Chain A
Amino acid sequence: MSDTLLVEPSAQPAAARVLGTLLRSREIAIGAVLVLLVVLTTLKSSGFVFSSDGWRNLLVSPALLLILAVGQAVVIITRNVDLSVGSTLGLTAYLTGKVFIASPGMPVVAVFVIGLAFGGLLGLVNGLLVAYGRVPAMVITLGTLYIYRGVFLSWAGSDRVNADDFPQGFNDLGTASVLSVPVVMLIALAVMAVVGYYLRTARGGRELYATGSDPDAATLYGLPVIRRVLVAFVLSGALAGVAGVVYAARYGTVSSGAGSGLELQAVGAAVIGGVAIAGGVGTVWGAALGAVLLITINRALPMVGISDFWQRAVVGALIIAAIVLDRVLAARQERQLVAARDLARREPDRRKAGTPA
């Protein structure tokens, strides 16, 4: 019974519990929608998957947003939001170009470390302002969105970095594949796996959820709330930095508009993937699937002949539907859990089942 899974999950055998939880998860639902979308589009136009270009695009295009969505999910789980990631990405991508121009022999790994650190630094600024300024994250990061972009504009001006400025080895990264999976996607998946593992199995990861679920309770509990919020923003910034390096490798060209608008897509991807905007709920797997779905829809709809206007409307509808669905499901779950109190009262024996003799 569905109620049992909610109220008394331990009463079920472990396998049934895991399976039940999995089947009810948002990740499975989004995954199913994604598969359906790919199948339907492929039926209409087989090149969507079954051409070397189609397959590559299917995997390469979502990689950037996937990295951003993972970082965004972590921030949203703490009941904050990071709107500056698009600007951070652009700025880091440009920095990558400048680093290679200054020292062409720089190893690729070092460039990733620089991007990670620089993005993390920008994230730290966000985190410090949010945690100590006690101003809502949306306001702070909206501000830094413009500030970081402004820094970028005054630094780059009309100048841009071109593919010639990058060493060949770095440019190859954007097109290389391992076992027909693009390296760019592998990087994104690795990021997702590491962050997801941390959120699930580390105390610090769980404290991020607790902080977002009820910040006041977290303070009373003695959790390091400020440190967790800082960690979330530094992580989001650092991942935006990594995404910036990936952006440079993939596109080869970085102008001052790079990454504009990506922040809203990242928020949309996380929300579609089941990360509750009110914090405390969601996984990076969900956010990652949300990112893939978002990008894939944008690519699939023109192929099935839907106009640009309707493409945007569909994405918008998807985001609203996800939020409404969250609200409805949360309300229903709460009603079920409250109604289950009657059950516990009617079965006092079971309530006392744990009584030692």
Chain B
Amino acid sequence: MQDRAASAVVLELRDVAKSFGSVVALRSGSLTVERGSIHAVVGENGAGKSTLVKIVAGVHRRDEGVFRFLGEDVDFATTAASKAAGIAVIYQEPTLFPDLSVAENIFMGRQPRGRGRRIDYGRMYDESDRLFARLGVHIDPRRPARGLSIADQQVIEIAKAISLDATLLIMDEPTAALSGVEVERLFAIARSLRDEGRGLVFISHRFDEVFALCDHITVMRDGSYVSTDRTTDTDVDAIVSRMVGREVAELFPKTPAEVGDVVLEVDGLTSAGVFHDVSFEVRAGEIVGLAGLVGAGRSEIARAVFGVDRYDDGAVRLLGRKVPAHNPRAAIRAGMAFVPEDRRRQGLVIEESVARNVGSVIRRGLARAGVLTSAAENRAAGPWAGRLEVKTSALDMRASTMSGGNQQKVVIAKWLATEPRLLIIDEPTRGIDIGTKAEVHRLLSELAGQGMAILMISSELPEVLGMADRVLVVCEGRITAELDRAAATPERVMRAATRTSAHATAAAADEQKSEVTA
């Protein structure tokens, strides 16, 4: 115990590698976190940050490399083992038990116990209240976790991690869904934990946050360690160029296209608790980007437009004709195509062949007297897959064996076969390697050039700014800004994206106060 307590280094990873089958997720990850410091890990999607986190958390086991915690070699086989050792992790995506109460979600497995080893519910609720007060939010600990907004779910994850009283706290993009006030609170807590001598790891895409909070910054690229610096010794430009390893401008080759007539018209779309009074239009040849925080309601708006989800009020028109609500088939017939965020689960029949996937939405058109032949499917799929340069040796190959980039192209090919007028695409390059990313961007740009209207949702700000002719910013289910290409700067988009009610009221109150004192 003496040695453990004396160790100045909380976490040490050296040349850690992890592969899943033939896919290398982490080539050589290195990270050294000292006591009493906050260490940022940055890198593009797919750089291996999350894999690194999951190895430390005991979700995955490393294939090779050194993994030391508090100076001792460790190898966590389960999440329980890493938790017991004193590691708390806030995962990128909240993992809650929807049927259980908020308090139980925080304290599951270590509920406060009273006499006779019975759970002391009263104390559990009180402690939850205290945690939320510390975080400056109000969530009823007795309510079920079901139906909470992403931001509130993230707050619960944070409360859970803090209550663990861990030596090492890892936060994997904890702020993606949080408003300004909540982020400030989190940072205050992170600093106080640092001052108590704990180690913290902070993963984020927002550089202002990284530089405001962290002492050290480690850059990763393509599954490998690149560099570690003190934040005071470096700047955003240096970090970004190390992250991408090339000029940013090369990535997003949107070419200007002639903007034509209105294709999609959305008018006053409302769904209680999800989004409100959403109105916008998309013209032919135009790429419109929907930007905003995770959980702001962008995907939900897209799903409602396409008819996957219900909406309470408002109308959707395509080429001037009303599209019936909650009816994806009618939306497809009207000329819409939808590439969902989670393509493995929603966009592809993973165990089916490429040809069958491409043909799946136009089956009816392909079928002869109700019989669908593989030959007909292959005939229909061939030209599309060829055009998109899908790298599968044969159309018979299973979609599950392809890379993320190629899968995405298959999904797009599938929809192009319906010859849509409007393409809605949610996170077009999530989890796609950089080379293929540019190809997907080139493809979208080309499609717009041919007169297709494209509505693109993306959480990657550079992608939105590089690709979109017009940017709509969504915040808490409302469109808070509409910026054309020239006006869309990262600062403007982020300001509109975090313009929360709590934030706004606080700012308004401050203004009033200053007026009074003046």
Contact = CB atoms under 8 A, between A and B. Distances in A.
Nearest to A278: B99
A281 B147 CA distance: 16
Contacts of A6: 143-144
Interface in A317-342: 333-342
A349 B59 CA distance: 39
Given A203-B113, A221-B79, A340-B147, A354 B99 contact: no
B95 interface: yes
B30 to A, nearest CB: 25
B136 A355 contact: yes
A19 interface: no
Nearest to B134: A356
B146 A334 contact: yes
A87 B59 CA distance: 38
Contact of B118 (A202, A337, A356): A202
Contacts of A7: 140, 143
B91 interface: yes
A213 B119 CA distance: 19
Contacts of A209: 97, 99-100
Contact of B109 (A207, A334, A346, A354): A207
Contact of B100 (A210, A333, A346): A210
A352 B98 contact: no
Nearest to B476: A345
Interface string B98-139: 111000100011110100011100000100010011101110
Given A8-B140, A333-B146, A342-B273, A214 B501 contact: no
B109 A222 contact: yes
Interface in A1-32: 6-11, 17
Contacts of B501: 345-346, 348
B138 A280 contact: no
Secondary structure class of chain A's binding surface, majority of residues: helix
A338 B274 contact: yes
Interface string B57-83: 111000000000000000000111111
Contact of A10 (B118, B141, B272): B141
A355 B505 CA distance: 15
Given A220-B95, A222-B79, A354-B129, A207 B108 contact: yes
A218 B506 CA distance: 38
Contacts of A108: none
A201 interface: yes
A350 interface: yes
B143 A214 contact: no
B161 to A, nearest CB: 11
Contacts of A336: 147
B95 A214 contact: yes
A340 B109 CA distance: 29
Contact of B98 (A213, A353, A355): A213
A169 interface: no
Contacts of A8: 140, 143
A219 interface: yes
A210 to B, nearest CB: 5
B137 A201 contact: no
Contacts of B394: none
B133 A354 contact: yes
Nearest to B181: A352
Chain A CB count within 10 A is highest, among B97, B118, B143, B181, for B97
Nearest to B111: A203
Contacts of A334: 146-147
A43 interface: no
A203 B99 contact: no
A337 B146 contact: yes
A342 B108 contact: no
Contacts of A9: 140, 142-143
A221 B109 contact: yes
A224 interface: yes
Interface in A125-143: none
Contacts of A335: 272-273
Contacts of A217: 95-97
A223 B502 contact: no
B505 A214 contact: no
B502 A281 contact: no
A206 interface: yes
Contacts of B108: 206-207, 210, 221, 223
A354 B136 contact: yes
Contact of A210 (B78, B97, B136, B276): B97
Contacts of B137: 351-352, 354
A60 B476 CA distance: 58
B121 to A, nearest CB: 9
A217 B499 CA distance: 31
B138 A353 contact: yes
A342 B125 contact: no
A225 to B, nearest CB: 10
A164 interface: no
Interface string B482-518: 0000000000000000001110011000000000000
Given A10-B140, A206-B104, A213-B98, A220 B272 contact: no
A11 B111 CA distance: 22
Nearest to A345: B501
Contacts of B143: 6-9, 337
A59 B98 CA distance: 37
B79 A213 contact: no
Contact of B125 (A10, A201, A221, A345): A10
Given A202-B119, A217-B97, A348-B505, A341 B149 contact: yes
19 contacts: A7-B140, A7-B143, A9-B143, A10-B142, A17-B142, A207-B108, A209-B97, A216-B95, A217-B96, A220-B59, A221-B109, A222-B80, A223-B80, A337-B143, A340-B273, A349-B505, A355-B136, A356-B133, A356-B136
Given A345-B501, A348-B501, 5 more contacts: A220-B79, A223-B108, A334-B147, A335-B273, A338-B147
Interface of B: 57-59, 78-84, 91, 95-100, 104, 108-111, 113, 117-119, 125, 129, 132-134, 136-138, 140-144, 146-149, 181, 272-274, 276, 476, 500-502, 505-506
The 3 closest A-B pairs by CB, nearest first: A337-B147, A222-B80, A280-B99
Interface of A: 6-11, 17, 201-203, 206-207, 209-210, 212-214, 216-224, 276, 280-281, 333-342, 345-346, 348-356
